[in-house]
Structure 1
Amino acid sequence: MDLDQQTQALVEGAPQDGSTPQLVESIAPALKILAQRLRHLQYYVMQTLDDSWVMTTLGHRTESEIEKNVIYAFPTLKDVAAGPFALSDPNMIAVPVPVMDILFQMLAMTSIYSIIFFETPGNVTIGTEVQRAELETLVHQFLQSQVDADTQVNIPSDIA
């Protein structure tokens, strides 16, 4: 599924309450900008049996009081097995998730700092980090530009 199809699926899957599908559609360009920086259309995310995504707390190398919560997104199942998770844990599974869904879900996850997308199959040591704050800023910019466009008054050039 390409990014436009993923966007359409997000819009169609939104609660049909009269405003949520339009809101999802309005922030989709921000999600798409970030998704285009990534190499894959789908990643594997570890989750628990109750559908909660598994977070990992990373500590700073030199300042032990600094920590951040991240979610890992892997390009293949084989890479999940090479990652930090015990696949033998019967309470966790790796599920394929479209990249637009990952970014959209990230907006609702206030306790995470970022998602680390491993881009190269076979390499789970170097990834592309997308910070939640960066996503929020981009979404706010898109929403603000739409508000500005909706409230802009078009003054005819021959008004005088």
Structure 2
Amino acid sequence: MDLETQIQLLINNAPQDGQTPQIVAAIAPTLMALAQKLQHTHYYILQNSQGNWVLTTLSNRSNPEIEKRVIYAFPTLQDVSLSSSAGLDPQILAKAMPVIQILFQLVALEPVDSIVFRETPGSNNHTVEVQRQEFQTLIQQQLQQHKRSRQVPPNIA
């Protein structure tokens, strides 16, 4: 499924509350721009039996008090099998998800600092990290721009 279709599905599946579809449409350019920097249209996300995404806590080697909570996104099912975290628990499943949906979910994933997209099948060397805080800032800027463009100028008469 191409990125345009993924965006349209996200808009169509948004709660029909009179606002959410317009908000999703407003941030669509940001989602699209980021998704276009990634190599795949779908990634595999590890999930537990309740459907929650598996969070991995990474520690800084030189300063173990500094931690980062990440979710890994794998390009293929075979790459999930190669991951050390995937084989530890039989309750962990890999689910293919559209990249637009993954990015959209990142906005609301409070305990998550980043999603690490593994880009090259069979290799851990090429990754793209999308930091939640930076992504939220881009989304806020897009929403501010959208809000300004919708305001009626005071001298419209």
Q: TM-score, normalised by structure 1?
A: 0.92
Partner of residue 150, structure 2? 150
Indicate the residue corresponding to 1:5 in structure 2.
Answer: 5
Moved more, 18-27 or 55-64: 18-27
1:75 touches 1:119 (CA, 8 Å); kept in 2? yes
Aligned partner of 1:101 in structure 2 is 101
Any residues of structure 2 matched to 1:112-151 within 5 Å, and which? Answer: 112-151=112-151
For the residues of structure 1 that align with 2:48 and 2:125, how far apart are their CA atoms?
23
Question: Is the 1:117–1:128 Cα contact (8 Å) retained in structure 2?
Answer: yes
DSSP 3-state at the match of 1:121: coil
Whichever of the two has the greater Rg, that structure is 1
| Deviating 4+ runs (over 4 angstroms) | none
RMSD of aligned residue pairs (Cα, Å) = 1.5
* Cα distance in 2 between the residues matched to 1:45 and 1:150: 37
Q: Name the stretch that deviates more: 120-129 or 72-81.
A: 120-129
Structure 1: gaps (5+ residues): none
Provide Cα deviations, 1:34-67, integer angstroms capped at 9, x if missing partner: 1011000000000011110000000001011100
Kept after mapping to 2: 8 A contact 1:87/1:93:
no
Residue in structure 1 matched with residue 65 of structure 2 by the alignment: 65
Q: Is the 8 A contact 2:80 2:86 kept in 1?
A: no
TM-score in terms of structure 2 length:
0.93
Given that residues 82 and 124 in structure 1 are in contact (C-alpha distance below 8 angstroms), is that contact kept between their aligned partners in structure 2?
A: no
Bigger mean CA offset, 46-55 vs 120-129: 120-129
Q: What residue ranges of structure 2 are gaps of 5+ in the alignment?
A: none
| Distance (whole Å) between structure 1 residues aligned to residue 126 and residue 58 of structure 2 | 15
What SS does the corresponding residue of 2:147 show, helix, strand or coil? helix
Name the amino acid aligned to 2:89. D
> Partner of 2:20 in structure 1?
20
